[in-house]
Amino acid sequence: MLTADPEIMFVVEAFWDEEASVWVATSDAVPGLVTEAETLEVLIPKLRVMIPELVAANHLFSSGI
C-alpha cells in the first residue's frame, strides 16, 4: 500500500506484463491511476507522485491533499 497522506491508504495492484516487459499498476480507489515502469524501483516513486495528484484532481477528499 502507498499513502498520499500519512493518514490515508490506498490499495494499488501491480502486476508484471510479460508481453510488454513492464510492471503495470492500477487502483480502483484512485480513478485514473494506470501506469507502468520497467522496474518496481521506478514504479513506486512514480506512484508516490501520481496518487496525490489524482486524489486532488478527482476531489476525493474535501480537505485536499
CATH code of 8's domain: 3.30.2390.10
Q: Which residues contact 14 (CB under 8 A, 6 or more apart)?
A: 23, 24, 25, 40, 43
Alpha helices in 1-65 (DSSP H): 40-57
Q: State the Cα–Cα distance between residues 54 and 39, nearest whole angstrom.
A: 22
**pLDDT band, residue 8 (cuts 50/70/90):** confident
Q: Please give the angle made by the CA atoms of 9, 14 and 17, to the nearest 5 degrees.
A: 165
pLDDT digits (tens, 9 = 90+) for 9-52: 899 999 999 999 999 999 999 999 999 999 999 999 999 999 99
> What is this structure's pTM?
0.80
Has residue 63 got a pLDDT over 80? no
The residue range of the domain holding 34 is: 2-57
53 falls within a domain: yes
52 falls within a domain: yes
pLDDT at 62: 64
